[in-house]
A = this chain, B = another copy of it.
Amino acid sequence: MKLVKKKIFQDFIAARGLKSTRQRDVILEAFLDSDRHLSIEELYLHLRGGNPTIGYVTVYRTLKLFAESGIAREFQFGDGQTRYEHVVKGEHHDHLVCVRCGAISEFSNDAIEAIQDEIATSHGFHIQYHKMELYGVCAACAAEAVEAL
């Protein structure tokens, strides 16, 4: 899967007449090695740990490229930072976001997706993408809250 995504990005780079650079390689590697929903800054700070260092702006631009190429999705979970996760086209899932600890978990449900299509159709609306996020308290935080009593 990691190799598939690398290939997709390489092809995208080639098709657009862009260049392959050390920075893009490093960022791609780190991005694919993560299973989190990373903000630009998080990835940037992570990369600063290694050597040589890569600029914030390059991380920013590269994540945008990932999204354009189809190997990443961009999100706004309401914490003021844009986040990215790597995905492959065709696959889809939505999110549960803990308002206490920020943990993000994933789910997908075909029934909901089907109903969404029906709703769109009945409105003469052509869906391009959707956003579905459930905000609340995760199991771990709920347990913690109980302990604290």
Contact = CB atoms under 8 A, between A and B. Distances in A.
Contacts of A96: 119-120, 123, 125
B126 A135 contact: no
B119 A139 contact: no
Contacts of A126: 136-137, 142
A142 to B, nearest CB: 6
Interface in A88-124: 96, 98-99, 105, 107, 109, 111-112, 115-116, 119-120, 123-124
Interface of A: 76, 78, 96, 98-99, 105, 107, 109, 111-112, 115-116, 119-120, 123-139, 142
A139 B125 CA distance: 5
Given A78-B76, A105-B123, A133 B134 contact: no
Contact of A112 (B115, B123, B131, B135): B115
B123 A129 contact: no
Contact of A127 (B78, B115, B128, B136): B136
Contacts of A130: 132-135
A127 B127 CA distance: 26
A38 to B, nearest CB: 19
Given A125-B137, A127-B135, A130-B134, 19 more contacts: A76-B78, A96-B119, A105-B123, A107-B123, A109-B119, A111-B111, A111-B115, A112-B112, A112-B115, A123-B138, A124-B138, A125-B136, A125-B138, A126-B142, A128-B135, A129-B135, A131-B131, A131-B133, A132-B133
